[in-house]
Structures are given as C-alpha cells and as structure tokens.
Amino acid sequence: MSANTFGHLFRVTTFGESHGPAIGGVIDGCPAGLPIDLAFIASEMRRRKPGQSSITTPRVEDDEVEILSGVFEGRSTGTPIGFLIKNKDQKSSDYDALKDVFRPGHADFTYNAKYGIRDHRGSGRASARETAARVFAGAIAKLYLLQKGISVSAYVHSVHEIAIEKPLETLDLSLTEQSIVRCPDAETADKMIALIEKMRDEGDSVGGTIVCVCKGVPAGLGEPVFDKLHAQLGHAILSINAVKGFEIGDGFASTLRKGSENNDSIRNGIASNHDGGIQGGISNGKDIIFKAALKPVSTISKQQTTTDIVGNTISLEAKGRHDPCVLPRAVPIVEAMAALVIMDNYLLNKVQKETI
C-alpha cells in the first residue's frame, strides 16, 4: 500500500497539510544526470498557484519550491530529491467554526470515520494544496520526457454546459496558456469566464471537463494486464481532488458505436484513434488522449445544512477563500499526473525486451 507514494521506478512521496508549516515530498528514482531547469519548474508552479487571476481564489501563495537534495551542480544525482513548499497565507481562524462540523461534499466526515482525528484547518491533508507537490514532481518528469520528444498538454474542454464544439484536431493547444480559464478556443473561453464570474458572485461553484493530449509517446509503453497504461492514467487522474470520471479515447461515446465503426486500424497515415493511443493496455504510437470530469468544488458561500460531530443539524456558510471553478488551476495538475505515469512506464519499458 502506497497511500502517499505514486509510481514504481520514478516515485513521488508527498506530505503536508494546508495549514501546517510546509508541504513537500521526496522524488526517488530520477535518473542521474538530468539537467534540472529551475525556471521551467517555477513556471509550472505558477500555473497552479492561487491568486493567479480574477477567477481563482484570492489567496496569495508564491508556491516557491526549495530543493533540499538530489541535485548537484544543476543535474540530478540519482539520489532522492527532497523538496519543500512553505505555507504562507493561511488564515487558520477562518476554520475555527468548522472544527466539529462536517461540510457537505468534503472529506471532513470520512477522515473522521477513518482516523478519529483530523487537522480541520483548511481541509488539512484533504486540501488541494497537496497537489502543489504533484506539480513539482510532474515538472521533473516533463523535463525528462521533453528530452525524449514527449509532450503532455491539457486544457479545459468544458465548464458546466459550456463546451468547446470544434474537433480536437482543429484546436491550437499553444493558445491554452493565453486564456485565464486555460481553454484554447477564445470564444468558448470568454463564455466560460463569464459563467465562472457569475458563480463567484452568487457564491456557488461549477465543474467541467479537462482533455489531455500526450504527443510523441513511443509504441510499447504500458503493461498488459492489471497495469494497463490507461488504468494507470485513470488511477492517476482519479486521484486528483474533485475528479469523478475518466475516459480514454472515445470512452463512453465508444459504447454508441459498432465494432466495425470503432476499430482502429494500424494503417499508417489514415488510421482513426478511437482508442486514444492505447490498445491492450499498451501505447500504439498515436497521441494518447483522455478526458477527466471534475465535479463543482464543494466549498461554496451559499448557506447549506449539514451535521456536526455529535449529530446536531447545522446551518453552514463557508468563510474560506475558494475557487468558484477549479478547472483552470487543475490543468497543470492533470498534466503532472499524466507525466508521472508516462515517465514511469518509459523507464520500465527499457528493461522489458532483451536485445541480444
């Protein structure tokens, strides 16, 4: 069991609560000799950090990463990379009233059921702040994958009922970062932003879907049975806060097609990609494409009725500073988790075929 560790050959272990002194972790298994580009890492951290635009939480956190080991003279040494991200802008008093209350949709009740004790401040370990550590680890993985010609790019495909209607092939993913909502289609992005602002003003929240495209993944990555590549990706993506659904390739839509319509052929050049780049659990060299569904974030300012720890009915109005829609900030997290999976399988694949 590896609750707070992810990966097999390239492994990240994380720790930290949102209102403790710091979060952080350890990356173990990074090959020695990889140039560690600090500017790239910082830019990835900025994509996830709070307060980055008018449609995210107004909390201010720099999310600066301190690397404590495993890097020497600009390169990885093969030894574990310890890292810290200090917590700075906590307002723990915001949470005093919540000490004994189970907020609807949150992990308050379930943590209490499991452990009998919890750090209630800012959702404690269940806070999405934990994902900052994932983005750092994902940045290291991306640096490795870039050297191999592999890129991982996600974007917001839909927010509530507003969805990109153009086909993926027609989108220019290099435009994603130009939009504060991280939607590469400008027209759709504007509508998404307007909706999120409306939700913010109403004290409500909305979810949506994120699509991720991995280009340059060679054929042959993944495992045949329990660890099919898309099963690993699904595990990774479903482990992100608020994610409630995962599809590889056409996913649920493929159930509405016949075999004769859905089968991807292997003919070079012409082939379809209903399977999303993975067949029999192993990459086939085409783009790996998957989609994640994120529910509306549970923290809202509207009044809600819930229960406290002794069973009293409670009327609750959240005071914390929260995101009306987490999707823009979830884009780099989705990319990070995908990068971790692909790097891990890239390394593994190096030892599975005898070349003598």
Smaller CB separation from a second copy, 2 or 174: 2
Task: State the residue for tokens 């495909």.
Answer: 157
Instruction: Look at the block and give the residue holding tokens 């495993």.
Output: 70
Residues in the chain: 356
Decide: is 31 part of the binding site for a second copy (CB under 8 A): yes
Q: Which residues are CB-contacts of 59 (< 8 A; sequence separation ≥ 6)?
A: 50, 51, 89, 321
Binding residues with a second copy: total (CB under 8 A)? 154
Residues in 194-233 at the binding interface with a second copy, rule: CB under 8 A: 199, 204-209, 218-228, 230-232
Is 45 in a helix, a strand, or coil?
A: helix
Sites for a second copy among residues 265-304 (CB under 8 A): 265-268, 274-276, 278-285, 293-300, 302, 304
15 vs 40 by CB, closer to a second copy: 15
Cα torsion for 62, 138, 251, 299, to the nearest 10°?
A: -30
Rule CB under 8 A: say whether 106 interacts with a second copy: yes
Distance linking the first and last C-alpha atoms of the chain = 36
Look up residue 168 and give its two tokens: 């993926």
Closest listed residue to residue 171, CA positions, set 158, 161, 186, 159: 186
| Cβ neighbours, 10 Å, residue 66 | 11
> Among 45, 98, 111, 139, which residue sits at the site for a second copy (rule: CB under 8 A)?
111
Site string for a second copy, 48-77 (x = CB under 8 A): ------------------x-xxx-xx-xxx
Contact flag: residue 137 with a second copy (CB under 8 A): no
From 177, 197, 264, 287, residue interacting with a second copy (rule: CB under 8 A): 264
Interface segment toward a second copy; rule CB under 8 A; list 37-45, 55-63, 105-113, 164-172: 105-113
Which one of residues 93, 174, 305, 315 is an interface residue with a second copy (CB under 8 A)? Answer: 305
